[in-house]
């Protein structure tokens, strides 16, 4: 048996055409038409087995039978038979996969844990798939500092998500020179993304909705929704990878579009981009009063954005004419610690 025949048989085995069936199908293709004894001799299949093998191939749609005595068999051309068989095989696998996933999800959902969520994965391929799932299910906003290799693997997922839901806001810090990056070219056409460059960065990290984070190491990937780690990653990213990075793409603000943010510092740059182009920014803020930690919701126009090395906040004038100072996580000198900000420009 030559290498090609071996690869063909291995493929046929893989899609469920097993053992004697693959040998019989290949032999019948070379013969054109044949009786069972003729095929048994050609394929070196015991005569006691050949009829069962042919019946199985016929049921799978790979062989036709000419009625008569003796019966004559003919292989259906591979471009018809195998394309049909593989499509049917894949459909069956996907259907089974959906049923299994539904069942396993019920088991997964019934398991509740109060322990901090910190998991390590040693499979980068599966880590990439899990990260794609996080991006696909992003509800509000997110950020990443990322290498070129990882960005190429995640770009299509991120692009489709941001294109399909323009209210989601995202920012990327590239830890590589962007020249010639095809992945970057795809993202530059999006309205709701901010892109920066910090070519000396070494951390590959992704966070979405202020609730789930991924950190890629050399030999493992860390997944977490542990609040203290989320806070630490936020501050590390903002001060170390975003604030002083070179900005190469701004948000392309669209009027009358709702933008959602859970990262206060990201809402500030989004609002700044709108204000400098002459738009008014109407915001809905959900958070807590700094003085007593009571929940509070307010709405109003942004009158001023203040940022320096220490302070970053918004001054919002409510419909009643009251000016309220909005801070981010850990706000202490502002009136409100914001947890969620919606913005509409007009």
CA distance 208 to 230: 10
Characterize 33-43 residue by residue with b for buried, 16 or more Cβ atoms within 10 angstroms of its Cβ, and e for exposed: ebbbebbbebb
Asked, colleague to colleague, whether 118-249 and 258-345 share their fold, the answer is no
CA distance 252 to 256: 13
Q: Where are the domains of the chain?
A: 1-112, 118-249, 258-345
Give, in words, the CATH class of 258-345. Answer: mainly beta
CA distance 172 to 132: 15
In the chain, the N- to C-terminal Cα span, in Å, equals 73
Helix (H) or strand (E) holding 184: helix 182-187
Task: Please report, in tens digits, the pLDDT of each residue of the chain (346 residues total).
Answer: 456 578 888 888 888 888 888 888 888 888 888 898 988 888 899 998 999 989 888 888 888 888 788 889 888 888 888 888 888 888 888 888 888 888 888 876 665 555 558 888 999 899 999 999 999 999 999 999 999 999 999 999 999 999 999 999 999 999 999 888 888 988 999 999 999 999 888 899 999 999 999 999 989 999 999 988 999 999 999 988 898 899 999 999 999 999 999 999 999 999 999 999 999 999 999 999 999 999 999 999 999 998 877 788 999 999 899 999 999 888 888 999 999 999 999 9
Count CB-CB contacts under 10 A for residue 331: 20
Pairing mode, if any, of strands 169-174 and 141-146? parallel
Q: Are 324 and 337 within 8 A, CB to CB? A: no
Predicted TM-score (pTM) above 0.85? no
The domain 1-112 having CATH identifier 1.10.10.10: the answer here is yes
Give, in words, the CATH class of 118-249. Answer: alpha beta
Strand partners for 336:
289, 326
Tally the C-alpha atoms within 13 A of residue 325's C-alpha that lie toward its C-beta: 13
CA distance 225 to 207: 9
């Amino acid at each position: 048996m030559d290498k090609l025949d071996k690869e063909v048989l291995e493929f046929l085995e893989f899609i469920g055409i097993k053992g004697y069936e693959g040998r019989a199908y290949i032999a019948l293709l070379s013969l054109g038409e044949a009786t069972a004894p003729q095929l048994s001799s050609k394929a070196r299949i015991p005569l006691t087995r050949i009829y069962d093998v042919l019946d199985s191939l016929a049921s799978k749609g790979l062989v036709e039978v000419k009625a008569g005595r003796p019966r004559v068999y003919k292989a259906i051309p591979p471009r018809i038979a195998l394309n049909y068989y593989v499509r049917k095989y894949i459909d069956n696998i996907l259907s089974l996969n959906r049923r299994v996933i539904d069942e396993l999800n019920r088991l997964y959902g019934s398991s509740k844990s109060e322990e901090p969520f910190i998991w390590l994965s040693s499979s980068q391929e599966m880590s990439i798939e899990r990260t794609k799932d996080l991006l696909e299910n992003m509800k509000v906003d997110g950020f990443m500092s990322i290498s070129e290799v990882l960005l190429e693997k995640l770009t299509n997922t991120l692009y489709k998500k941001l294109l399909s839901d323009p209210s989601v806001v995202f920012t990327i810090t590239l830890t590589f020179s962007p020249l010639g990056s095809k992945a970057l070219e795809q993202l530059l056409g999006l309205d709701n993304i901010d892109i920066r460059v910090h070519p000396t960065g070494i951390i590959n990290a992704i966070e979405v909705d202020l609730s789930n984070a991924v950190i890629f190491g050399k030999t493992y990937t860390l997944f977490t929704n542990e609040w203290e780690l989320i806070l630490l990653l936020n501050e590390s990213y903002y001060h170390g990878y975003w604030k002083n990075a070179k900005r190469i793409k701004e948000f392309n603000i669209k009027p009358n579009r709702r933008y959602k943010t859970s990262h206060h510092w990201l809402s500030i740059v989004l609002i700044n981009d709108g204000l400098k182009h002459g738009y008014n920014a109407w915001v809905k803020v959900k958070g807590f009063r700094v003085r007593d930690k009571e929940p509070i919701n307010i709405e109003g126009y942004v009158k001023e954005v203040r940022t320096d090395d220490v302070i970053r906040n918004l001054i919002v004038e409510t419909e009643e004419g009251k000016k309220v100072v909005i801070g981010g996580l850990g706000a202490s000198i502002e009136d409100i610690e914001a947890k969620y900000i919606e913005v509409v420009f007009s």
